[in-house]
Amino acid sequence: MNYSQPLELTGIISTLDTFFRNNLTPFWATFIEGALILIAILAAYAIIALALIYIERKITAFFQSRLGPNRLGKYGVIQSIADMVKILIKEIIQINDVDKFLFYAAPFFVIISSVLTFGAIPFGMGLQAVDFKIGIIYVIAASSLGVIGVLLAGWSSNNKYSMIGAMRSGAQFVSYELSAAFSLMTIVVLSGTMQLSEIVENQRYAWNLFNGHIPAMIAFVIYLISGHAETNRGPFDLPEAEGELTAGYHTEYSGLQFGFFYLAEYLNMFIIAAVATTVFLGGWMPIQIKGLDAFNQVMWYIPSYVWFFAKTGVLIFLSLWVRWSFPRMRIDLLLNLEWKYLLPINLVNILLMVLMVLAGWTLSDWFPGLFAIAP
């Protein structure tokens, strides 16, 4: 059954595409559409980052019995915008004895990595810039580029604090990237595809978190832990430990250069939550129950992007809750957690998922009629 989706943006997108194709040559139509998509991605990137900065400050204040931002605008909503303007006009301090090329290139590696990953996320019905058949591999590969910028920042700064922070970050990122990747591959085994749009579509009547039983739940928990560690946020913020490393790998950065690192950190938090939503929690799909057409119709009246941001918001809140509830770990304990516990559990878990899929023990095998997608 085709459900009505009155608030979706697919109609506007199709109208623009038809207009450009009818009035321009194929080259210029593709070029202009690509430029508009790039502008939309960058605008969404900046807006989400500013919103996350404000939301974290408010949630942090709530946990610590404070008010948080409350001066600029109603409830302090303009504070993030004021901070953005301030960081844009701040002087970039010239540091002596640094490797200038690598020092200035490092922030771009970090920001480009998060933008590339950001563009592959399906935010709603038809709201996905790129949809590769190997989407999971693309997300893993693009997000991995960020560690290059961190290592370059620490190496080129000619600062011992920065170098130690960069080495910590490199070790931490490379270690936890393994568990994050294996967790995603566990769901690839379950879904039978790496294409993000197909993974979302396959979860129309049941999320992968439940379709895959216990192995999917284990993969979900491990992915959240690994993703949180990859973003260098407490209690895994050893690379930026202020009490011992000043600010870690970006100690020597100022102005807009520091802003790039700051911006990428918040967007990486969003990206981790968004990928988890897409792969484990049905992505932008509304709650659907096979056979309850009236209920399904009502759920479709809520736009798909609202569903996506609601699910992602819950995971972001969970991330902030963890950050402000646990003390910072020692670096040796942090790496022990990955190599002695998470990685072995992950390897066994992906094997269990393979056996479960081969044996036909998933919900989709037990209730095939429930998972059949209506025409």
Q: Is the pLDDT of residue 373 over 70?
A: no
Range from 2-11, 85-94, 248-257, 328-337 carrying the lowest mean pLDDT: 2-11
In percent, the amount of the chain with pLDDT more than 70 equals 93
User: Is the CB of residue 287 less than 8 Å from the CB of residue 196?
Assistant: no
Cα distance between residue 79 and residue 158, in whole Å:
34
Residue 315, domain member (yes or no): yes
- Listed range (66-80, 245-259, 332-346) with the worst mean pLDDT: 245-259
Under DSSP, the state recorded for 24 is: S
In a domain, 75, yes or no: no
Integer angstrom CA distances of residue 350 from 33, 54, 112, 161, 309: 40, 38, 31, 38, 28
Inside any domain, residue 143: yes
pLDDT, position 264: 87
- The answer to whether residue 63 is domain-embedded is no
Separation between Cα atoms, residue 185 and residue 324, nearest integer Å: 30
Q: Is residue 79 part of a domain?
A: no
What is the pLDDT, as a whole number, of residue 354?
93
In the predicted structure, residue 374 carries a pLDDT above the cut 60: no
**Whole-angstrom distance, CA of residue 198 vs CA of residue 200:** 5
Identify the domain containing residue 234 by its residue range. Answer: 97-371
160-191 vs 255-280: helix crossing angle, rounded to 10:
20
Residue 159 lies in a domain: yes
Query: What tokens were used for 354?
Result: 């393979």
Distance set, CA 353 to CA 210, 213, 217 (Å): 13, 9, 11
Q: Which residue has the higher pLDDT, 375 or 64?
A: 64
Is 346 within a domain? Answer: yes
Q: What is the pLDDT of residues 273-314, one digit of tens each?
A: 999 999 999 999 988 887 788 888 888 888 899 999 999 999
Predicted TM-score (pTM) above 0.85: yes
pLDDT at position 96, please? 81
Token pair 């049941």: residue: 206
Structural domain count of the chain:
1
Residue 119 inside a domain? The answer is: yes
